[in-house]
Amino acid sequence: MDADERTVRAVDTHCPYCALQCGMTLTRERDDTVTVAPRGGGLCQKGWTSPELLAHPDRITTPLVGGRPTGWTAALDLVAGRIRALQAEYGPGAVAVFGGGGLTNEKAYLLGKFARVALRTPNIDYNGRFCMSSAAAAGLRAFGVDRGMPFPASDLAEADTVLLAGANPAETMPPFMRHLAGKRLIVVDPRATATARQAHLHLRTAPGTDLALANGILHIAAERGHLDRAYIDGRTTGFAELAATVAGYWPARVERITGVAAADLYRAADLLAGGRRVILTARGAEQHAKGVDTVSAWINLALALGLPGRESSGFGTLTGQGNGQGGREHGQKADQLPGYRRIDDPVAREHVAGVWGVDPATLPGPGPSAVELLGMLGDEIKALLVFGSNPAVSAPRSLGVHERLSALDLLVVCDFLPSETARFADVVLPVTQWAEEEGTMTDLEGKVIRRRALRPPPVGVRSDLEVLSGLATRLGLTEGFDPLPGRVFEELRRASRGGTADYHGITYERLDAGRRLHWPCPDTDHDGTPRLFTDGRFHTPDGKARFIPVEHHGPAEPRDGEYPLYLTTGRVLTQYQSGAQTRRSSLPGEPFLQLHPDTAARHGITDGAPVLVTSRRGQFTAPARLDDTMRADTVFAPFHWPGANNAVNDALDPISRMPEFKVCAVRIRPHEETP
């Protein structure tokens, strides 16, 4: 190192993991190690250990072709040549792109542009399809806009009662729990999670029955006179149809469906009857083949109580991935263009094409969703480029995904660690990590924040933007793919202008000056919009929110004599997403199967012993973890390790195309081999 490189340098940035995006200060010490300190709040274990991966021995620092080190020029030439050849033989749609909800706004934007302009393919989607798609669709049809939390998280400090449906922030985003301190907390979850154990009231539902629960609570709220009739009449439409639907969800029926005692249904309705109230959903309510309808049921309850758009009250969704909000706003989602515009909207296509300098007619239309795209690999799709995702672990029915990846003519993976997906790759391109790059992220409340580089990447590593720029140049586009994040963001601002997610008034300069800017922010003299709907209008043509009547139906795959248990999956405190990063950190953790002692005894299983879990799609093995708070009909496995997603159901929600991760039928037995 040069002498000036040995000096201590510090930079303010944000944690690379969940959408809470906790502020942190990174310091590069004289021995080149990186230390971390919280800034403006706390950090969870994942945040504290995040610098460990910057110099991890598994770090990829040179392109790999067929597993062998190769120079960048040769690697990019090979990829571009194969793309041209495959598209010449099979058409533009023979090449697909799979992105991620952890990519910066700049990367997500340029990735969507690369797919539509450089590749001319409709086949692009991302792993956010597995995360926020059901909540997004439900928010759009009720409110006309999708912003996970339409108010700052700090507003929760003034709330009296908070209902969490399918959310476990005590493990998934622990610093969020400070906003819930002292609240009357209602938690809806089949498991006695770390969050549920802190609840005033835990509603332990059977997996896949949240919709019936929400309808049942609304039924009781109407019966007991808790509804806000003035709000319903003045700010909503469709309540008469909804009332007719929820009339059929009387307490005894809902108790039979959900397993929640009628007395607890009444307690929940009464807790939500007055004061400042917030209803929040997360993946437990959303990762179902009826996820959109389930979120709609919770939105219906919030609207009937008069919560959205009220001070310290409202409805929201806890976004999971680091840029889960921004990642779906700027074009890497199959049906969207920048600014949260629909790709099949002629006006949107004309605006974005004008920014990109192309004919709107050349832009492809909507493509398949993530699960459907992965199912096309090796057939209609001959090549796949993966950025910021690990579908070999994270996708449902993952063993089938392995077969599809193996059937490709070309798989290119951009990553900084050798993920399970990279093991199938023909070409692996080493890219920067969070502390080595500039850009922006959008947190769970729609606030745009700056990611700042502490130090340059290792020699031989390039940014995703440089990869896209290099490939675009080789595909004949000498302009429009600038690799500098600041210039990409300037173009993103213009492309998003006038859209639902309008970033036009947000600049690096304003963010660097400490401005807290939530979208929409249409002009540079605008202060942003931290709270939506407070002007009395929703983002619908008539300004009124929509009640959407929804009916309960069971899981896509019910239990039966052959598969008598429900499997549900989720996250644990020390791990994140597919685990490609956190499984390499010093954080403890191992796969496990959580089940009730009586369930274990019936199947001859002892605590700690390996269990074979089998569904109609696949199987996995994990050591038993006995827990007498579990439902006797349900077992739980975390999805951070390869295995659990082998078994889950790839049935899709008809609107969001969300897979049914949260409930499927399985059988279990002792397994003689070590997992």
- DSSP secondary structure string for all residues of 512-581: HTT--EESP--STT----SSSSTTS--SSTTS-EE---------SS---SSS-EEEEEE--TT--TT-TT
pLDDT of res. 7: 53
The Cα–Cα gap between 53 and 98 comes to 23
CA distance to 110, 425, 444, 481, 607, per residue, from 87 (Å): 21, 19, 38, 21, 54
Residue 421, pLDDT above cutoff 50: yes
454-487 pLDDT, tens digit per residue, is: 999 999 999 999 999 999 999 999 999 999 999 9
Q: What is the pLDDT of residues 42-58, one digit of tens each?
A: 999 999 999 999 999 99
- 4 falls in which pLDDT band (50, 70, 90)? very low
In this predicted model, what pLDDT tens digit does every residue of 479-535 receive, in sequence order? 999 999 999 999 999 999 999 999 999 999 999 999 999 999 999 999 999 999 999
pLDDT tens profile 190-229: 999 999 999 999 999 999 999 999 999 999 999 999 999 9
What does pLDDT average to over the chain? 96
Residue 8 in this model has a pLDDT that exceeds 70: no
pTM comes to 0.96
Q: Which long-range contacts (CB under 8 A, 24 or more apart) does 509-517 make?
A: 511/440, 511/448, 511/449, 511/450, 512/450, 516/447, 517/447, 517/448
> Where does the pLDDT of residue 1 fall: very low under 50, low under 70, confident under 90, or very high at 90 and above?
very low
For residues 226 and 350, what is the distance between their CA atoms, to the nearest angstrom?
47
pLDDT in tens, 271-323: 999 999 999 999 999 999 999 999 999 999 999 999 999 988 999 999 889 99
pLDDT tens for 559-610 read 999 999 999 999 999 999 999 999 999 998 999 999 999 999 999 999 999 9
Res. 618 pLDDT band, cuts 50 70 90: very high
What pLDDT, on a 0 to 100 scale, did the predictor assign at position 673? Answer: 59
Closest Cα to residue 111, out of 492, 410, 500? Answer: 492
Average pLDDT estimate for 646-663: 97
Report pLDDT for 232: 98
Tokens encoding 13:
């940035």
* pLDDT of 2 strictly over 50: no
pLDDT attached to residue 550? 98
Give the confidence band of 675 by pLDDT, cuts at 50, 70, 90.
Answer: very low
Burial of 471 (0-12, 13-18, 19+ CB in 10 A): buried
pLDDT band with cut points at 50, 70 and 90 for residue 144: very high
What's the longest Cα–Cα distance across the chain?
75
Domains of the chain: 4-55 (2.20.25), 64-130+323-518 (3.40.50.740), 133-318 (3.40.228.10), 565-670 (2.40.40.20)
The reported pLDDT for the residue numbered 32 is 87
Would you say 14 and 451 are in contact if contact means Cβ atoms under 8 Å apart? yes
